[in-house]
Amino acid sequence: MAILLALVSAVAYGLSDFVGGLVSRRASAWAVAVVGQLSSTICTAAIALMVVGSPEPRHFVWSVVAGVGSGVGTGFLYRGFASGRMSVVAPVSAVGAAVVPMAVGTWGGERPSALVWLGILAALPGIWLVASVAEDDLARTDPASARGGDSTAGGLVDGILAGLGFGVLFAALGQVPASAGLWPLTLAQAVSVPAVIVLAVVLRAPWVPRGRPVRWAALAGPLGATATGAFLLATQQGYLTVAGVLVSLYPATTVLLAASVLHERIHRAQGVGLGLCAAAVALVAAG
């Protein structure tokens, strides 16, 4: 069940990123992040009202850490997408999001089987390849972003920061037990909103939602709530090490959606990556 929940989380995150990425092309990335995270908070709070739990103060401390990580990850991911640096941001952020909880879980004493470790080793390059964008495709869709230099460096920074943010989110949520209910998750979602705003203010970027396009970011809210909720349940029923890697397969959903909805081409490297991701899921499930 933990594996299934982690995969549900990956699909929901991929859908959320697809929506957020599209809207970020037409509105401020930080405003999109604010609306999306606020919508997620409302959705999570509505569900938390119906779930019985007994959270302790330390669980809320982890929630605050998770919320800051979520805000940092979402803000820099959308900024990278909006600036046309997806070819760098997506793979770096996805691998970073997998490595942090994997390291924390291992340090905490988790010891998956050899077959599961083999699946994890297959997943990391698979994530990178799936999230990559062919240079010729990038040049056609956004010639300015295909020119290396400052764009590549900026994309690398956005990707590293987004990956660390999501990695912290996953690792912190992994410390919240099932007995705590969903209010710690609600707090994490709520904290992510001011975290995004503070970052936007520091970077002098517009964050106040304006115009019709940004309203569509609210659709990412239920998807984000589903993703974080499913991930939390996955860590409560299985290894954080495994859940962190499986949820980081979310770029596969985004790529497949882009191919089916936007008719974008899946290049050879992405096809190999999708195959590795499928093999990783099979190995983890078998282990």
* HEC string for the chain: CHHHHHHHHHHHHHHHHHHHHHHHCCCCHHHHHHHHHHHHHHHHHHHHCCCCCCCCHHHHHHHHHHHHHHHHHHHHHHHHHHCCCHHHHHHHHHHHHHHHHHHHHHHCCCCCCHHHHHHHHHHHHHHHHHHCCCHHHHHHHCHHHHCCHHHHHHHHHHHHHHHHHHHHHHHHHCCCCHHHCCHHHHHHHHHHHHHHHHHHHHCCCCCCCCCCHHHHHHHHHHHHHHHHHHHHHHHHHCCHHHHHHHHCCHHHHHHHHHHHHCCCCCCHHHHHHHHHHHHHHHHHHHC
Section 179-198 average pLDDT? 94
Range with lowest mean pLDDT among 22-36, 62-76, 181-195, 248-262: 248-262
pTM of the entire predicted model: 0.83
**228 or 25: whose pLDDT is higher?**
228
Widest CA span in the chain: 53
**91 or 217: whose pLDDT is higher?**
217
- The CA-based dihedral angle spanning residues 177, 174, 44, 23, taken in that order and rounded to the nearest 10 degrees: 180
Cβ–Cβ under 8 Å, residues 247 and 166: no
- The answer to whether residue 160 scores a pLDDT higher than 80 is yes
Residue count of the chain: 287
Section 23-41 average pLDDT? 88
Going 48 to 163 to 4 to 129, the CA torsion angle's sign is positive
Predicted confidence at residue 251, as pLDDT, reads 77
Predicted confidence at residue 189, as pLDDT, reads 94
Helix axes 29-48, 2-24, angle to 10 degrees: 140
- The answer to whether residue 233 scores a pLDDT higher than 90 is yes
**167 or 146: whose pLDDT is higher?**
167
b/e 69-82 (16+ beta carbons within 10 angstroms → b): bbbbbbbbbbbbbb
pLDDT digits (tens, 9 = 90+) for 90-105: 777 888 888 888 888 8
- The answer to whether residue 245 scores a pLDDT higher than 90 is no
Predicted confidence at residue 193, as pLDDT, reads 94
HSE (CB half, 13 Å, CA atoms) of 154? 17
- The answer to whether residue 138 scores a pLDDT higher than 50 is no
Rounded to the nearest integer, the mean pLDDT of the chain is: 83
User: How far, in Å, CA of 79 to CA of 178, rounded?
Assistant: 34
Predicted confidence at residue 168, as pLDDT, reads 95
Predicted confidence at residue 147, as pLDDT, reads 46
Section 248-252 average pLDDT? 81
- The answer to whether residue 220 scores a pLDDT higher than 70 is yes
Domain that holds residue 173: 2-286
Range with lowest mean pLDDT among 13-22, 96-105, 190-199: 13-22
Domains of the chain: total:
1
pLDDT digits (tens, 9 = 90+) for 42-72: 999 999 999 888 999 999 999 999 999 999 9
Predicted confidence at residue 149, as pLDDT, reads 45
**212 or 264: whose pLDDT is higher?**
212
Section 242-247 average pLDDT? 88
- The answer to whether residue 79 scores a pLDDT higher than 70 is yes
Predicted confidence at residue 216, as pLDDT, reads 85
